[in-house]
Every structure is written in structure tokens, then in C-alpha cells.
Structure 1
């Protein structure tokens, strides 16, 4: 029999699957599918980042670099060397995992501001390489990416579709493909959290000294979760590249890293479904504020600031707390 904790996680996964299934009922044009697919891809990325930041308590201000490596790895090998997308995606994830392990071992010995600066420098180095190696990456102008194909089934890039008179099935296929990947990302993260690895990560977050005293190899587990989160970013970077059909160095920029970390904090650190909500809010908010023109960025910053002031634990944990409080008060009134 499943314990209560596992039942809650399974229920959350089922609810997410139901949302993915019914959402197309409210989407009527390519833009809606474009936004929903982007949200699913970015949400899967931050689910991996949340393992590092929310559960292990380690900061990363250069995580978009891994996202960019995965994207450009797939772009170069599929477009310039005619590799198949799926093997390229897997190879990119392996390469990124090795890079993360080699880089993470010394970096994760640092703490606080020093760790922040080290991950920031790592991200800058990756972005500079992508920008400067124009013969390979196209430099600041970017480069095209071949369509995604899986066992002969091709998912054309969004840029290859005509916005007028097009077959909507292409957008629907990409949406459900990204939705399945998000479900897999969440399922894998939940299994890691419920495993001995997850318990070790939470002990590291609570107190590294106490964790070492009880025999936890903190350096090993911090490096391991750094690799896992980097592989998440690489895989979704590759998928994003095939989805858009064209990429630029902006996907590996410091600004993109900040957006990713903000999604984790906004949605709720150590809340797998919370960071998905954070990703959705942060992607949709600029669209909602687009009519305000020059005031858009100011209002965007104000909303984020007020959210973090009045909901410091994040959106979903705060909402869950309010619902539980109201239910408890209702039961007390009935008693």
C-alpha cells in the first residue's frame, strides 16, 4: 500500500497529465500551442534545476550554459553533419554530464557568494565560446536546426510552418511530445526525491556538517545532482532547438540563467509542481503585460517583487498552505 507522501506525488502527476490532456480544448491557434510547448520544455528544465537548488541547496547562475550546449550540439551535428536527432540528443546529454562532473567537483566545494560567482563565470565562458566560434555555431547570428525525427516520425520545426492555412496537427504533435517529456521529467525527479539520493540531498541542504557526521558523502551527492540537473538542461535544450528550428547564443546567456532560477524561486523551491507553475507564470506574464508597452518591464518587476514579499516560499506552497488553513478552519467551525 502506498504511503500518504507517495499518494500525494502520484496524485500530482495524474493532475498534471489531465491538465496536459484537456488544455488543447482552450487553445485555438498556433500561438497558443507555441506558448504551451515552450512552457512544457522550460518547465522540464527547471524541474531538473530544482533538484540542485531546491533540494540540495546549491545555487547555479550559469545553468543556461548547459541548455545552450545541448541545443548547439544537436544543431551542429544534425544540420551540418546529418546526424539523426535522437542519438545526437543522447550524445549531447552524455557530453554535458561529463562536463558537469568535471566542472562541478571543484566548483561545488565553494559556498555562498563564491559558489554563485563560480557558476556565473562558468555560464559566461560557455556563452562566450558559443558567440565567438562562428565557424561552428554561426556566432551572434545563430544557426538553423534540422527537424526532430523519432523512428521515422518527423516533427517539423515551428518556423517551417506557415501561419496561414496550415495543418494544426503539426502544432498539436509538438505540444503532446513536449507534454510527455514534462511528465517523464517530473516522474524521474519524484523517484530521485523519494530515493536514498533524495534523502541525502535534503540532508546536505539542511546541514552539510551534520550530513558528513552521519556518513553522507556530501561532495559526491552534490556533484551527482549537479550532473543530473545539467543533463535535464541539455536534453531540453536539444528539444528546444529542434522545436524552434533556429537558435541564437541568447539561449545560453546570463539573462536566461536568471530566468530559470527565478522560475524555481517564484514557483516554490523544493516543490516539483511549484516550479512548473513558476515557469508557466513567468512565460505568460510578459504576454499579459504586453499592452502596457513601456511600462511592461516595470510592472513585470513589481509583480515579481510583491509576489516574493508576500509569498516568500513560492506560489504553490503558499496556495497549498492557504487551502489547508481554510480547510482546517472549516472543520473547526463544523466541530
Structure 2
């Protein structure tokens, strides 16, 4: 599927879904799907393209989220500038820690990235004077919605964040698809197949691993910032271990090798818990069983499996 066709499908879905929403609550769920999908797209670049694993990307989401909280309060920055500052800080952090830890492979790399995520969460939890500790802290209003109202365009909070998150997701998908089609993307896929073979043909393996890690960190940071801005409040959970696992699961569940798979995985794991709330105490059990079945019978992810079945049916 071509890059522009994927973007067109994504944009059409984002534009058409509100026609099916029976209430404003669904705008909130849609915005949450888009925010999660943005972080998962970054992991699709790292895991699906470069073949590297990270269990600590919630740490970068935490950096982005708390940048939007601390920037306006301590530095007087506009929330939008705080988002950009958080993305820059996450990129620099990924650059610094990526050089040593990306020398590791397999579960050694997974444990190292896990340690980074836990470290960020611990700092956020313990620095009460700065971050509010476990209680979290308030986040400043972005202000864009008030500007739109002054211009005569009245829009509710749910609709506003649905639109903003959707636009940022399309932009993030466009950037990722361009990376996929670039020499950088081809080099990443080569080292995913075999680092030895990639090194043999002259690819700087360490450099491309680091590029993928930094890019994915920036995606996670922007995702965390958007979550903080739309909630107007943030807690250390955004940087927690469980959030990292959730993001990786979304990536693998949907199909780590494609952008649409990343968005699909984020949508499934964001919406499914809302649907399963009717099962009360059995919600987590059913959710876990579904994920186990998918991983056993659809190891490439849900979207690639569905695509193959549709092609076979068409023949």
C-alpha cells in the first residue's frame, strides 16, 4: 500500500468517525487512541524497522508530560513551547543513553531500557517539591481553544482534542512513512534482518540503531505531552512500567512492521478495556486471553493477518 493511500485512509477515518459518535465521551476515547498511536508509531520504527526492543519508553512519555507541567510553572514557557522542549530533552536523553545501551542485544537491551524507564518514574515519584510526587500536578491550559472561540469557532474540549490529536497523528504518520521509504529506513530494515550482513555492506549499525532510538523517544515524548495537555493533570503513572508494557503490546498486537498496524494496535488496546468493563472482575482475564490467542495464531500482528486473509479471499 502506497504512502499516500495509507495517509488518505487514516485521514478519512479520523474525519468520518465523529459521524458515528453518540456522545462527547467518544471524542475523549478517540483522542486517547490517537495519543497512544503516536507513541506506538515511534516504537514501530524502533522495533518493526530497526529490530530493537525497549521496555522503558514510558520514561520518555513522562519527560514530555512533565515538561508541559513544569515548563509553564517554573520557566514561564507557553505549553506549546514546553511540548517542543520536552521532545528536544527526550531526544538528547535518548542520544546520551542510547550510545552505551544499544551495544546490548536481546533481553540485555530490554532490561537496560527497563532500568531507564524505572529510573525516570522513581525521580518523578520522589521529587515531590518539583513534580508533586505520587499525587501528580496540574498542567496549564494550551490556550488554543480560547483563541478559536475568540475567532467565532466554538468547539468543546472533547472535539478540540480529538482534532488536535488527529492532526498530530497524521503528521507523525507522514514523517514515519517518509522515514520508511528513505535510505535510513532501508538501512534500518537491513540491520533488522541481520546486523552482520548490514555491517558487511557498509551500513553503520550503531548509528542507525541510535537514530531509531532517538526518533522513537521523540514520538513518545510528544505523546506524553499531548496526554498531559488534554487531561490538564498528570501523575507518575504516565512514566510507569505498565505503560511501557502497554505501548510495546500495542505495537506487537497491531503489527510492528507498519504504520497502520501501529495505529490499529493502539486502537484495539485502548478501546477493548472500555468494552470489557461490563465483565467487571473478569475484564483483565478476558483481555489477557485475547492477547495470548492473537500472539499464538497471529504472530505478525492483527492487521497483517487480516490483510492476508482478505487477499486470499479476493483470489
| TM-score, scaled relative to structure 1 | 0.90
Aligned pairs (5 A) from 1:56-135: 56-135=50-129
Aligned pairs (5 A) from 1:297-312: 297-312=284-299
Matched-pair contact (CA < 8 Å) for 2:180–2:186:
yes
Matched-pair contact (CA < 8 Å) for 1:268–1:274:
yes
Q: Does residue 187 in structure 1 map to residue 181 in structure 2?
A: no
Distance 2:219 2:188 in 1: 17
Distance 2:276 2:157 in 1: 29
Superposition deviation, residue 80 in structure 1? 4.0
Match of 1:50 among 36, 44, 54: 44
Distance 1:316 1:149 in 2: 37
Gaps of 5+ in 2: none
Distance 2:144 2:289 in 1: 43
Q: 1:74 to 1:19 in 2, by over 3 A?
A: same
Match of 2:221 among 228, 234, 237: 234
Corresponding position of 1:164:
none
Corresponding position of 2:16:
22
Corresponding position of 1:217:
204
Corresponding position of 1:163:
none
Distance 2:144 2:182 in 1: 31
Q: Does residue 254 in structure 1 map to residue 241 in structure 2?
A: yes
Distance 2:57 2:188 in 1: 19
Corresponding position of 1:143:
137
> Paired residues, what number?
311
Q: Find the residue that maps to 1:226 and give its secondary structure.
A: helix
Distance 1:91 1:9 in 2: 29
Corresponding position of 1:201:
188
Distance 1:154 1:72 in 2: 26
Q: 1:206 to 1:139 in 2, by over 3 A?
A: same
Match of 1:295 among 267, 273, 282: 282
Q: CA RMSD in A?
A: 1.5
Distance 2:269 2:234 in 1: 21
Larger radius of gyration: 1
Show structure 1 runs of 4+ deviating over 2 A: 79-82, 149-155, 167-170
Corresponding position of 1:270:
257
Matched-pair contact (CA < 8 Å) for 1:148–1:154:
no
